[in-house]
Amino acid sequence: MPKGKQFKKSAELVEREKLYSLEEALPLLKKMSFAKFDETVDLAVRLGVDPRHADQMVRGAVALPHGTGKTVRILVFAKGDKVAEAREAGADHVGGMDLVEKIQGGWMEFDKVCATPDMMAAVGRIGRVLGPRGLMPNPKTGTVTFDIGAAVGALKAGKIDFRVEKAGVVHTAFGKMSFSEDALAANLKAIVETLVRLKPSSAKGIYLKSVAISGTMTPGIRLDPSALTRGL
DSSP 190-219: HHHHHHHHT--TT--S-SEEEEEEEETTS-
Strand ranges for 36-108 from DSSP E: 40-47, 59-63, 74-77, 93-95
pLDDT score of 194: 95
Measured in degrees and rounded to the nearest 5, phi and psi for residue 178 equal: -75, -10
Point out the domain boundary residue: 108, 128, 157.
Answer: 157
Alpha helix ranges (H) inside 114-219: 120-123, 127-130, 148-157, 181-197
Average pLDDT over residues 201-221: 94
Q: What is the CATH number of the domain that holds 178?
A: 3.30.190.20
pLDDT score of 131: 93
Give 11's pLDDT tier (boundaries 50, 70, 90). Answer: confident
* 41-89 pLDDT, tens digit each: 999 999 999 999 999 999 888 999 999 998 899 999 999 999 999 999 9
| CB 178, CB 184: distance < 8 Å | no
Task: Please tell me the distance from the alpha carbon of residue 54 to that of residue 222, in angstroms, as a whole number.
Answer: 29
Task: Please tell me the distance from the alpha carbon of residue 57 to that of residue 49, in angstroms, as a whole number.
Answer: 8
Residue 7 lies in a domain: no
Residue 27 lies in a domain: yes
Residues 58 and 168 in one domain: yes
Residues 164 and 151 in one domain: no
For residue 168, what are the CA distances in angstroms to 20, 151, 232?
22, 28, 21
Task: Please tell me the distance from the alpha carbon of residue 46 to that of residue 210, in angstroms, as a whole number.
Answer: 5
Give 118's pLDDT tier (boundaries 50, 70, 90). Answer: very high
* 147-156 pLDDT, tens digit each: 999 999 999 9
- Which of 85, 12, 24, 29 shows the shortest CA–CA distance to 218? 29
Residues 58 and 96 in one domain: no
Task: Please tell me the distance from the alpha carbon of residue 101 to that of residue 85, in angstroms, as a whole number.
Answer: 23
| CB 158, CB 63: distance < 8 Å | yes
Side-chain-facing half-sphere of 101: CA atoms under 13 Å: 4
Residue 10 lies in a domain: no
Average pLDDT over residues 183-191: 96
Residues 100 and 131 in one domain: yes
Residue 2 lies in a domain: no
Residue 5 lies in a domain: no
Side-chain-facing half-sphere of 48: CA atoms under 13 Å: 13
Segments forming the whole domain that contains residue 36: 15-67+160-229
pLDDT score of 232: 63
Task: Please tell me the distance from the alpha carbon of residue 1 to that of residue 217, in angstroms, as a whole number.
Answer: 7
Give 181's pLDDT tier (boundaries 50, 70, 90). Answer: very high
| CB 74, CB 114: distance < 8 Å | yes
Average pLDDT over residues 209-216: 96
Average pLDDT over residues 203-230: 94
Residues 90 and 32 in one domain: no
Average pLDDT, the chain: 93
pLDDT score of 3: 67
The percent of residues in the chain predicted with pLDDT above 70, rounded, is 98
Residues 153 and 164 in one domain: no
For the chain, what is the domain count? 2
